[in-house]
Amino acid sequence: MTQKITVIRGDGIGPEIMDATLHVLDRLGAGLEYEFADAGLAALDRHGELMPQATLDSIARNAVALKSPLTTPVGGGFSSINVALRRHFDLYANVRPAKSFPNTRSRFGDGVDLVTVRENTEGAYLSEGQELSEDGEVAISGARITRKGSERIVRYAFELARSTGRKKVTAIHKANIIKSTSGLFLDVAREVAGRYPDIGFQEMIVDNACMQLVMRPEQFEVLVTTNLFGDIISDLCAGLVGGLGLAPGANIGENAAIFEAVHGTAPDIAGKGIANPCALLLGAVQMLDHIGRPQDADRVRQAIVATLAAGDSLTGDLGGSGTTMGFAQAIASRL
Ligand code: ATP
């Protein structure tokens, strides 16, 4: 059966890594149909706005989008287009796998295989409640945690553990100090954990979690946490397995999901054809899993692993001298 997805080619290195990713998906023969839509600077150039309604309509219709990085120009009416998209579609779960790959600059061998599930819509990242006193001496920012928001993110983490054969969920918090917000999150996490007797549950204070992640990352399977901690910890985890060029992320809601690379538009290397396409391609792997094509997802993942292991056509960030499309062709040839 054909599945239509919205494809946003993005800005900077976006179009290059998207072409490379689609090359691999085409070779896979997964029956995907692409509906191209613009956002970011490309949309501003073509349509006079950063996020055209037609793009929002396309994502709403298809419920699945593969998106390259976007530039949000200063003064463009958005603080970030990515954040605006997450809000618009209530994409509450930011899901970032971190799995060791061969032949990367990771310090941790092949022992890491974890997923960070970050709450994406509340917590400390609110635009309201930010204050600076008139004399500029005192600043205050608020955080909001809800039972509903905590419940759905923790449930998501447990369901993910179940569906991927993982056996443990670790809730990361600071409830010993931030008793109100982090305390509510932890209370709800405990309640939800009680409904999943088949999955182990562990609680860990965020500072200890950071140390444990660096000392013994192989002890973790699924991490679930609030927005700010999740933002920091998921980048830490990307660093455990070789950095930005290999870090994908999914933003998932009830009615839509957007899959992407974690990195930005990399203006310093844009247009040179040397960007690593793997982060976006791994985002496509998450997408294939999400739309119920786990075998296709596995095939692409294994082709990436085999290409990395062979050191074939690797891009500069991985120590090679290959091109974006050359790397994609090497991966596609292993499918
Ligand atoms: P933005 O403002 O869009 O976030 P940025 O340059 O601040 O852009 P990134 O795009 O994440 O942030 O880039 C950080 C560094 O990592 C840059 O030096 C960039 O060249 C490099 N980088 C990012 N993505 C890739 C990639 N896919 N392949 C190779 N290098 C990359």
Residue tagged 């509450």 (tokens): 92
Tell me, what's the pLDDT at 77? Answer: 67
The ranges assigned to domains in the chain are 1-94+244-335, 113-240
Q: Which residue, judged by its Cα, is nearest atom 21 of ligand 1? A: 266
Least trusted range by pLDDT, from 103-112, 135-144, 280-289: 103-112
Mean local confidence (pLDDT), 142-170: 96
Answer yes or no: is the C-beta of 317 below 6 A from any ligand 1 atom.
yes
Tell me, what's the pLDDT at 162? Answer: 96
Answer yes or no: is the C-beta of 274 below 6 A from any ligand 1 atom.
no
What's the CA gap between 156 and 253, in Å, rounded?
10
Give residue 138 CA to ligand 1 midpoint distance, Å.
34
Residues 285/301, Cβ–Cβ less than 8 Å: yes
- What sections of the chain are H helices per DSSP? 14-28, 41-47, 53-62, 81-88, 147-163, 181-194, 206-215, 227-240, 278-290, 294-310, 324-332
What is the dotted CATH code of the domain comprising 113-240? 3.40.718.10
Mean local confidence (pLDDT), 126-147: 89
pLDDT at 127 over 80: no
pLDDT at 35 over 90: yes
Tell me, what's the pLDDT at 26? Answer: 96
- pLDDT (tens digit per residue) in 178-207: 999 999 999 999 999 999 999 999 999 999
Handedness of CA 233, 235, 239, 242 (dihedral sign): positive
Answer yes or no: is the C-beta of 68 below 6 A from any ligand 1 atom.
no
pLDDT at 294 over 70: yes
Mean local confidence (pLDDT), 43-48: 92
Answer yes or no: is the C-beta of 74 below 6 A from any ligand 1 atom.
no
Q: For a pocket test of ligand 1, which of 67, 82, 244 has the largest count of ligand atoms closer than 8 A to its C-beta?
A: 244
What's the pLDDT band for 171 if we cut at 50, 70, 90?
Answer: very high
The DSSP call for residue 89 is T
Give residue 268 CA to ligand 1 midpoint distance, Å.
8
Spell out the CATH class of 1-94+244-335.
alpha beta
pLDDT at 73 over 90: no
Contacts 24+ apart (CB under 8 A), 172-178: 172/204, 172/205, 172/206, 172/209, 172/223, 172/224, 172/225, 172/229, 172/230, 172/233, 173/203, 173/204, 173/205, 173/206, 173/225, 173/226, 173/229, 174/205, 174/206, 174/207, 174/229, 175/205, 176/205, 178/143
Tell me, what's the pLDDT at 105? Answer: 75
- pLDDT (tens digit per residue) in 3-15: 999 999 999 999 9
Mean local confidence (pLDDT), 80-108: 89
What's the CA gap between 47 and 42, in Å, rounded?
8
Q: Which residue, judged by its Cα, is nearest atom 4 of ligand 1? A: 264
Q: Which residues are catalytic?
A: 125, 174, 207, 231
Answer yes or no: is the C-beta of 323 below 6 A from any ligand 1 atom.
no
* Structure token pair of residue 294: 């786990």
Residues 327/313, Cβ–Cβ less than 8 Å: yes
Looking at the CA of residue 262, tell me the nearest atom of ligand 1: 11
Give residue 167 CA to ligand 1 midpoint distance, Å.
34
Tell me, what's the pLDDT at 76? Answer: 59
Q: Which residue, judged by its Cα, is nearest atom 9 of ligand 1? A: 264
pLDDT at 1 over 90: no
Give residue 265 CA to ligand 1 midpoint distance, Å.
6
Least trusted range by pLDDT, from 78-82, 91-95, 298-302: 78-82
pLDDT at 108 over 90: no
pLDDT at 175 over 90: yes
Q: In degrees to the nearest 10, what's the CA dihedral of 5, 125, 237, 327? A: 40
Answer yes or no: is the C-beta of 69 below 6 A from any ligand 1 atom.
yes
- pLDDT (tens digit per residue) in 226-285: 999 999 999 999 999 888 889 999 999 999 999 999 999 999 999 999 999 999 999 999
Tell me, what's the pLDDT at 222? Answer: 98
Pairing of strands 222-225, 168-173: parallel
Mean local confidence (pLDDT), 68-86: 83
Tell me, what's the pLDDT at 129? Answer: 75
Per CATH, 1-94+244-335 and 113-240 having the same topology is answered yes
Residue tagged 């910890």 (tokens): 233
Give residue 263 CA to ligand 1 midpoint distance, Å.
6
Answer yes or no: is the C-beta of 8 below 6 A from any ligand 1 atom.
no
102 or 211: which carries more pLDDT confidence?
211
Tell me, what's the pLDDT at 125? Answer: 81
* Averaged pLDDT of the chain: 94
Mean local confidence (pLDDT), 60-78: 88
Residues 332/309, Cβ–Cβ less than 8 Å: no
pLDDT at 320 over 80: yes
Mean local confidence (pLDDT), 53-76: 92
* Structure token pair of residue 244: 């930005």
Looking at the CA of residue 277, tell me the nearest atom of ligand 1: 27
